[in-house]
Structure 1
């Protein structure tokens, strides 16, 4: 039998469609998962593209959190980042198959020592930055070093760093004389990582943006996001924060060293302030065949969902389950009683929340932090209604005689209507329990 706390931890999960979550980001230790939203994975709609040239117009409602690979824990940056930076290895995606780790800047996926505590990578010959300067092992090491400076880069990915035997290293800024002994560069093409303990999947960690090379002389700390030095097929030509970004071909990228990127378009033009309603209308109308969006759910508005049934639109729509969740967390320091948290979970109308994300076309309800398409999924039976209907009377009974907060705050990113609309549903649901919910918009970056 589950303890009340354990039952609660899983009882408040909802899975619906969303994108743009932080890749590999840990949940805060003082939070309880209250809502999980599972993305839908793209599949190939049309295959066989091989012609080069042209421009891709990328319509977005807000700017990137960052373009700096050393401060990147976001799906959007990770996807676009593969256009302008390379890493030692990369996760190569093939339609209908799980991603596989393949060499990128390195000649192979690494060689492990007999004791499993060291991994050695050799850089390919002829790899260069956008200014023609050769990429060396020192540039890889410096890229890793920057990600230890969490006082500067608050979103630096930490999975690779956690595996390294790095001691108390804090990055290259706080104490420039400090040495990261966990990464050695015996020559210009060799990088050696020393681990705390054996980790067989280290080649996958080497695909994280930590290993994107950064020339030390060009590092401008937080301003590096304005023009990260390219090691990939494209480079930044112009970037007007909150408005536009243009990527053009990197003349020093050699396709002979990079079989993983086709680099077919000549340019990518990003509009960073287009309303989601406008994006939705333009994509549905197919007014620009070269337009795409990175916004969640293709920026589709709930009112536009019915248009997906149109044959001309349906042919251009792709979907499928991914493993990225939107999570609504409960503050367990303020809501300490597990029964109160459980009552909140039971009171939520998950059917209505799913509607805010576009309905079942874009996701599904779940009673687990994982969905059936994820590794490690275990079918779970909880007290939530499997169809998503609230259990208000049961929730009220749990609260009888309880001392619980009568006001709560719901913070949401203001760049997507679904987040605000979900808050409105939560607000209405909890009002029935005598709890007032204040909706607080959190401005998107600009």
Structure 2
């Protein structure tokens, strides 16, 4: 699984999180994305938002699909979901105001109305400070009761609760006009209002009003923050155990850390849904199967495993075996995810621009990628944005060149502290980075950090480390969920930072504000330009590698594709052959 912040960087999952896709090996950087079709779908129309979803070729109803995974989902309460395996699974039982229709053939990912008739209307005259969504007619929950705009508002309200703070916080912060969205409102519990601040409901219409422009609201509305819930069905933190369905499937069984069984929700109307199908009779989730066993079971393809989908990646030790077995290639799912891993440079400590540029030239990305499984599982990065980002522009300001790194250092041997998660794999790959950088003249001191506190430690301002390797995935395919959280210096706090480079530049901050006020279709190219400007002028990080998916499905699974918008095997069109 991949959280939006790629926590796998902190521990033993670091290798497992990097998975493969089609790429052309150049022999110098570990691969190239020349043939990548970056997401160009953008925002769809009201016509795109009508159901039913386009039929899947060869699909038929019936049978059971099994998801095989190592552990339970972190959360299945829609308002608390912020990990992509749960995000994809939840589409089977949860609907939001908007959602994505992916076209795997073109790489196109189009945002459409899900519960809403379209992707929302800017009712502020183009200022992006007021957004109105109209719900479709005839929407129902698993018990046949109607889904209302008031239920959507209540779902947003409960997302404010400090007890349910695991999901994304965009809409809450925008409504409150502050990062500290709990300052004046903490949700509907303990006497709080059932209607969140800035939200009004009029019949089947719900309106969100913000103090500042937020032109990405149609995208933010695709998260579980806007999943509907009747107040009478709110079991607070217990909703994780049995969510109330608004989608094509509902919970029949949920044995924590063991098994989940979903069966059809007879009240779901496919004519209202442009995203989902309900081909299988059941979805069964089996847990407690490690990556090696998952991979071997998928290779063997016996019994129920023929209807299985790995919920993880081909084990690193078996990547070569899978990639060289031609009989398996029709069952391999591969493609770019939205995650980029990078070597963050603590600019509060490493102030010399030439030193930061030298680090960029000195890092041997190919060597590291070969160590974690080769170009099937990762590709050298040159940009801050992933190739899946709308408007992505390929460049590499610092191709591997030890001689250039040495020239920039001019005979100096900077002593830098590299912090890493203290696990077996963390130790192994820290040594690889140390060796790479020392060839250019750096002196690298390795500093292990307890796995559980890795992100806590590097997220402290004025920490005592010079280098560390986090990862980041966009919350929707826009630079607005990449550049600002990672490089807006005004967000730096005493702790809990995502700006791990502690980069604060007035010109960059100003451009972030300017681009944030633009419509998404115009902003896309501007985020890409700012991506390149940050790297060429300031070099606050070393883009390391693009994360890739490389997983297996059973021979009797049809319609399973890698989601352009999720970077995970999608289930909405799956069927049993």
Same fold (TM over 0.5): yes
Contact residue 238 and residue 245 of structure 1 kept, 8 A: yes
* CA distance in 1 between partners of 2:215 and 2:206 (Å): 17
What's the TM-score once normalised by structure 1's chain length? 0.76
* CA distance in 2 between partners of 1:337 and 1:364 (Å): 28
Deviations 1:183-228 (A, max 9, x none): 11122x2212223345454323222221111222333333321112
CA 23–124 in structure 1, closer or farther in 2 if over 3 Å, else same: farther
Q: When the two structures are aligned, how many residues end up with a matched partner? A: 401
Give the match for residue 176 of structure 1.
Answer: 191
CA 338–171 in structure 1, closer or farther in 2 if over 3 Å, else same: farther
Deviations 1:64-114 (A, max 9, x none): 221121122221111111111001121111222411122211233333325
Q: Secondary structure at the match of 2:339?
A: strand
For the aligned residues, what is the CA RMSD?
Answer: 3.8
Give the match for residue 145 of structure 1.
Answer: 157
Deviations 1:35-72 (A, max 9, x none): x97975999xxx61321111111111222221121122
Give the match for residue 84 of structure 1.
Answer: 93
Give the match for residue 101 of structure 1.
Answer: 111
Q: Secondary structure at the match of 2:79?
A: helix
1:223 to 232, 238, 242: 238
Deviations 1:307-341 (A, max 9, x none): 32322111222323332234554556676776776
Give the match for residue 291 of structure 1.
Answer: 308
Q: Secondary structure at the match of 2:275?
A: coil
Contact residue 166 and residue 181 of structure 1 kept, 8 A: no
Unaligned runs of 5+ residues in structure 1 are: 1-18, 26-35
* CA distance in 2 between partners of 1:158 and 1:82 (Å): 20
Q: Tell whether 2:263 aligns with 1:254.
A: no
Give the match for residue 425 of structure 1.
Answer: 432
Q: Secondary structure at the match of 2:379?
A: coil
* CA distance in 1 between partners of 2:320 and 2:427 (Å): 18
What's the TM-score once normalised by structure 2's chain length? 0.60
* CA distance in 2 between partners of 1:234 and 1:272 (Å): 19
Q: Tell whether 2:170 aligns with 1:155.
A: no
Contact residue 86 and residue 212 of structure 1 kept, 8 A: yes
Contact residue 322 and residue 373 of structure 1 kept, 8 A: yes
* CA distance in 2 between partners of 1:153 and 1:216 (Å): 15
Contact residue 118 and residue 192 of structure 1 kept, 8 A: yes
Give the match for residue 410 of structure 1.
Answer: 420
Q: Secondary structure at the match of 1:22?
A: coil
Give the match for residue 186 of structure 1.
Answer: 202
Could you tell which deviates more after superposition, 337-346 or 282-291? 337-346
* CA distance in 1 between partners of 2:155 and 2:389 (Å): 31
* CA distance in 1 between partners of 2:188 and 2:407 (Å): 52
Q: Tell whether 2:65 aligns with 1:56.
A: yes
* CA distance in 2 between partners of 1:423 and 1:403 (Å): 15
Deviations 1:235-267 (A, max 9, x none): 222223333222222233222322421111111
Contact residue 137 and residue 185 of structure 1 kept, 8 A: yes
Contact residue 93 and residue 248 of structure 2 kept, 8 A: yes
Unaligned runs of 5+ residues in structure 2 are: 8-16, 23-35, 38-55, 454-577
Contact residue 70 and residue 153 of structure 1 kept, 8 A: yes
